Structure 1
Amino acid sequence: MKAEIIAIGNEIVTGNTVNSNASYIAKQIQTLGIIPKYHSAVCDTMQDIQEVLSKSLEHADMVFVTGGLGPTDDDLTKEAICGYLGMELVIKEDICQNIQAFFNKIGRYMPECNKKQAAFPRDAYILENKNGTAPGCILTKDKKHIILLPGPPKEMKPMLDGYVLPYFKEKLNCAYHTIDIKLFGIGESEMAERIAHLLGETEYVSVAPYVGDYEVIVRITAYGSNEKQAIETTEKIKNSVCECLGEYVIGYNQDTLENVILELMKKHQYTIATVESCTGGMIASTLVNCSGISAYFKEGFITYSNEAKKKYAGVLEETLITYGAVSEQTAKEMAEGIRLRTKADIGLSATGIAGPDGGTSEKPVGRVYIGIAFPDRTYVYELNLNGTRQVIREKTVKNLLFQLYRNLK
């Protein structure tokens, strides 16, 4: 079933409030095989609400509407939608009593205007609101479903999860499964070229590329008559994608580089130490995002000055004079030195020019060297990065962890 999500409210349209509800609803309804196809936002006017609803019902089987269920005169969602559908609103006394009980519970007087929140069509399926005064409802006409939900996320989310999803789960015979394949070290266009034969969308399967934070994602979504069928379909396509792009795969779904690295360190029982210049501690900070890293991460040093590089990592004065702090040779000595001095199995290093100043024609802003020292071999990589100072530093960390992951794997 195709769905549209409509946010009603001037504050949404003008950008004063971020529409987080749409993202949440879209993710949740997919678990039932309901496919979100369209998102809209509209002002609090009768005409605008009815116009967007009319268009939505032309191309969607289900319309999820958030906002405009409050007690004030500008809360017109029910009036506009029920007016368009030709459904009469009547005050339901039991709902009115529930609203009164809510006010009694918080020790406040219930204004007369709140009674409008108890007005619904006679055949509406009412959605209880345990976190506010605005109940929602499900309206059905001509085999189309219109779901009215309150705007505040703290009220909308429990209503959606507690009532709407169970309601439609009983009625729909469809299951959904999705897998995000996370890639690093390859651009979106090259990735799309390599798996062009797999990309695309049918009624039951979607394979699409997305760009994340310094990552490329291949999202596989499959719908089936049951969960097992949907999972089997996504797994089959995942295996095909990995056959084409396996060297760039860093994980799936909620995986992060640091988490998959931790799992590999556990497997091999490796310890690690870091020494950083341009990243200023970001490598160590990223690694310690992982719970359980304390058993494997020994020490971390920030050696911004040449004196610190010599003192803590054992970089030779001759190396710094001959090649400079930003060089392959210095990165190598930093990684090897910190590994030996901390008695770790792996030493990581980063030295470079993050900018916006300090670059030269020979060593421009964005030139970074990263080092990975193992007991039997040291790898050094030259990076030529672009972006702001912060972006260059973040890219350095990502590239270093990616190379560490590839070598550990």
Structure 2
Amino acid sequence: MSLTAEILSVGTEILLGNITNTNATFLSQELSVLGINVYHHTVVGDNPQRLAEAMDIALGRNDLIITTGGLGPTYDDLTKQTVGRALGLEMELHEDILADLKARWERRGTVMPPNNEQQAWFPKGCTIIPNDWGTAPSCAIEKEGKTVIMLPGPPYEMKNIWNRYVAPMMQAWQDSVLVSRYCRVVNIGESALEERLSALLKNSLNPTIAPYAGGGETVLRVTAKAATREEAYALTVPAVEHIARECGDDLYAVDKDSMEQVVCELLRELGLRVATCESITGGGLARRITDVPGASDVFECGLVTYSDRMKYRLADVSLETLRAHSAISLEAAIEMAEGTLKQSGADLAVSVTGVAGPETLPQGEPGTVYAAVAGPLGTRAAKLTLLRSNDRDRNRINATGKALDYLRFYLLDLQRSKRG
């Protein structure tokens, strides 16, 4: 029988909507991969009475409760104390953790504030989980068939603790090994993709296949269960191969994190360096490429030519083109790419221009986007298809992703031409 879990997020700032609860999203996805059913997300403010009530309810209906937040040094960081009381456990001081906290402050050239001592107090009998990324150690408690895992609130700390310590610990609880692989698809909507893969999605029990959409792409999570990791991985192979046949080049990655990672790998394989020239995206294209570690091997430079004057001066877009077609046109995108290629000395250049919104312009509605790539295969340009939206940020983000994908297709064709 599958375990049931609840994610209990602690923090008034989450309750008031001041920050987005990304921790709950991450943990739900991770628990799903482990085959653990998450039936409840609960958010409670920094109030010990309401936290105690939420914990009592969670313990009554779940095998596993994961809390995030409330492990800090301030007066309202009371998660450990509240959980301890709910489980009938006294608090005890861990001298080794206290010594480590004091040493951290000494390395900074100062003395630890007295209130930080509470980070060294834990419910009696718990398992300490180290925090190599912050000052608040985590812990896990098992009692009477219930398990409570307490993690810090900052997402960077929480995710690293989960990946290094908690996920392996929970995997060890399983009778079998789970392997999940992620197939990332663009240019095919979630509904259309489900229809195309309907037989596979309906009939596949091990592995299971779960589609979800977001960020301009659809991800298919293929999860298999077996006695060993090798056997579980082997079970995923036929499903992944089926998805690859059905999606073709629109399947841009398997077991990779992002479009920009794939683009950088293609550039590196081809021994090429790229330059960017952007208008609508305001540098977003260059940022995504340079987010990839090692991007300096493949990225030459980025231009943000937002005004017509800068398109003319920096990217060699002719005044005739700007007058006849405007800066938001296929012709302008072509000259932006070709001019940037010439000016930068890169091996190829990608350009993107369009209408971000929210207002409609004479050149088009919000989401009207043109891109071009100039390089060894000559210059290619296209009007890109974005979902219609008046949301300026959404249009800029989607335009960045579409331009990256347009560059990827160019690189794939170049790769094929070199292979003969």
TM-score over 0.5 for the pair: yes
Q: Distance in 1 between matches of 2:114 and 2:301?
A: 60
Amino acid in the other structure paired with 1:380: A
Match of residue 328 from structure 2: 326
Q: Distance in 2 between matches of 1:9 and 1:336?
A: 53
Is 2:269 aligned against 1:263?
Answer: no
Pair 1:157–1:291, CA change in 2 (3 A):
closer
Q: How is 1:9-408 mapped onto 2 (pairs within 5 angstroms)?
A: 11=12, 14-15=15-16, 22-23=24-25, 25-26=27-28, 33-41=34-42, 44=49, 49-56=55-62, 62-66=63-67, 75-80=81-86, 82=87, 89=88, 96=92, 98=94, 102=98, 106=102, 126-128=126-128, 136-140=140-144, 145-150=145-150, 152-153=152-153, 172-200=174-202, 204-357=206-359, 359-360=361-362, 363-383=364-384, 385=386, 386-408=389-411
Aligned to 2:268, what secondary structure does the other structure show?
A: helix
Is the Cα contact below 8 Å between 2:322 and 2:332 reproduced in 1? yes
Pair 1:327–1:78, CA change in 2 (3 A):
same
Aligned residues: 381
Q: Distance in 2 between matches of 1:404 and 1:162?
A: 35
Pair 1:345–1:53, CA change in 2 (3 A):
same
Q: Distance in 2 between matches of 1:77 and 1:65?
A: 11
Q: Distance in 2 between matches of 1:389 and 1:108?
A: 45
Amino acid in the other structure paired with 1:322: A
After superposition, the C-alpha distances for 1:243-273 in whole angstroms (9 at most, x for unaligned) are: 1112211213443222211221122222322
Amino acid in the other structure paired with 2:305: T
Q: Distance in 1 between matches of 2:26 and 2:249?
A: 33
Amino acid in the other structure paired with 1:392: N
Q: Which runs of 5+ in 2 are unaligned?
A: 103-111, 413-420
Deviation at 1:185, TM superposition (A): 1.4
Pair 1:306–1:247, CA change in 2 (3 A):
same
Amino acid in the other structure paired with 2:392: R
Deviation at 1:227, TM superposition (A): 0.9
Aligned to 1:150, what secondary structure does the other structure show?
A: strand
After superposition, the C-alpha distances for 1:54-90 in whole angstroms (9 at most, x for unaligned) are: 333xxxxx3235379999799544444x5xxxxxx57
After superposition, the C-alpha distances for 1:366-391 in whole angstroms (9 at most, x for unaligned) are: 32211112344321111354342232
Pair 1:35–1:303, CA change in 2 (3 A):
same
Pair 1:284–1:63, CA change in 2 (3 A):
closer
Deviation at 1:186, TM superposition (A): 1.6
Q: Distance in 2 between matches of 1:308 and 1:105?
A: 53
Is the Cα contact below 8 Å between 1:8 and 1:49 reproduced in 2? no
Amino acid in the other structure paired with 1:147: T
Q: Distance in 2 between matches of 1:201 and 1:316?
A: 57
Aligned to 1:250, what secondary structure does the other structure show?
A: strand
Pair 1:203–1:5, CA change in 2 (3 A):
farther
Q: Distance in 2 between matches of 1:206 and 1:358?
A: 44
Q: Distance in 1 between matches of 2:353 and 2:165?
A: 54
Q: Distance in 1 between matches of 2:408 and 2:221?
A: 22
Pair 1:391–1:226, CA change in 2 (3 A):
same
Amino acid in the other structure paired with 1:258: E
**What's the TM-score once normalised by structure 2's chain length?**
0.74
Amino acid in the other structure paired with 1:248: D
Match of residue 122 from structure 1: none
Amino acid in the other structure paired with 1:270: L
Deviation at 1:346, TM superposition (A): 1.6
Is the Cα contact below 8 Å between 1:127 and 1:163 reproduced in 2? no
Amino acid in the other structure paired with 1:390: D
Q: Distance in 2 between matches of 1:384 and 1:149?
A: 45
After superposition, the C-alpha distances for 1:332-363 in whole angstroms (9 at most, x for unaligned) are: 22222322343433222222222234602x62
**What's the TM-score once normalised by structure 1's chain length?**
0.76
Is the Cα contact below 8 Å between 1:276 and 1:350 reproduced in 2? yes
Is the Cα contact below 8 Å between 1:99 and 1:133 reproduced in 2? no
After superposition, the C-alpha distances for 1:95-144 in whole angstroms (9 at most, x for unaligned) are: 7464698499758889xx99x9656xxxxx6423667699642124xxxx
- What's the RMSD between the two structures over aligned residues? 4.0
Deviation at 1:208, TM superposition (A): 1.1
Q: Distance in 2 between matches of 1:373 and 1:104?
A: 56
Q: Distance in 2 between matches of 1:285 and 1:278?
A: 14
Q: Distance in 1 between matches of 2:43 and 2:204?
A: 30
Is the Cα contact below 8 Å between 1:42 and 1:49 reproduced in 2? no
Amino acid in the other structure paired with 1:401: L
Deviation at 1:302, TM superposition (A): 2.7
The farther-off stretch of 288-297 and 347-356 is 288-297
Pair 1:2–1:278, CA change in 2 (3 A):
same
After superposition, the C-alpha distances for 1:305-342 in whole angstroms (9 at most, x for unaligned) are: 33332333333332222222222222222222322343
The farther-off stretch of 43-52 and 294-303 is 43-52
Identity %: 25
Deviation at 1:42, TM superposition (A): 7.0
